[in-house]
Structure formats: C-alpha cells, structure tokens
Amino acid sequence: MSDEPNAGTGMVINASEAGLRIQTFNDLPIRKRIHIKVSLPKGGKLESFRAEAEIIWKDLYLWEDWEEYQYGLTFVEIFNEDYLTLKRHLCGRSNLEEASF
C-alpha cells in the first residue's frame, strides 16, 4: 500500500484484470479504498504498476503462529499504461498496444 503514513507490504496471491487477492499483516476494514503499487518480475528486473483499489472481502489467515489477513481487492482506478503492464503479465506477452476495460 502506498501513499499512506503507515504503508504496509503484502504479497499478491492471485491477479486478474478486475483485481487482486493479497496477503498482508495489516488489519484493514472492508470497503476501504487503498492506493497500491505492485511490483512484478520482468526478466531479471522488476516492473510495477499503481492503482486505487477497494477491499471487497477479508479473511483471517493463520499459519503456525503467524496471523495474517487475505483481502479481495477490486480496481477502482488504474491508468491505461498501468493496466497494460498488468495485462502483459497476465497474458504473458509484452507487445500489447491497446486494451479495453
């Protein structure tokens, strides 16, 4: 999560054109809008995109003695260039020129 005083980190579990499922230690309320920055591997480098997302569901995730949360996020706003970055990674292609959503 970016642009917040107590920004946290998390891991993307699943991604689609509509949103993400993430896992994090941060306890956040459902319907909260957050600004996110997602870093994706591209060769030996990282490529990232930014979006505004809304938390649509929340679940407690327990693993041994760790307590984390999983969230379902839906994209509220994403710039076309960032959307194309996401779409390239989802499709496994790097030559998309246009997309619609």
Position 13 scores a pLDDT of: 92
The rounded average pLDDT for each run of 10 residues, N- to C-terminus, in the chain (101 residues) is: 67 94 94 94 86 97 88 96 91 52 41
Position 19 scores a pLDDT of: 96
Position 98 scores a pLDDT of: 46
Sheet (strand 66-77) strand order: 10-15, 19-24, 66-77, 45-63, 33-42
- Neighbouring-strand partners of residue 71: 22, 58
Amino acid identity at 32: K
- Neighbouring-strand partners of residue 9: none
**43 CB burial (10 A radius; 0-12, 13-18, 19+):** exposed
Say what the pTM is: 0.79
User: What is the rounded end-to-end Cα distance, in angstroms, of the chain?
Assistant: 23
Position 7 scores a pLDDT of: 72
Position 4 scores a pLDDT of: 58
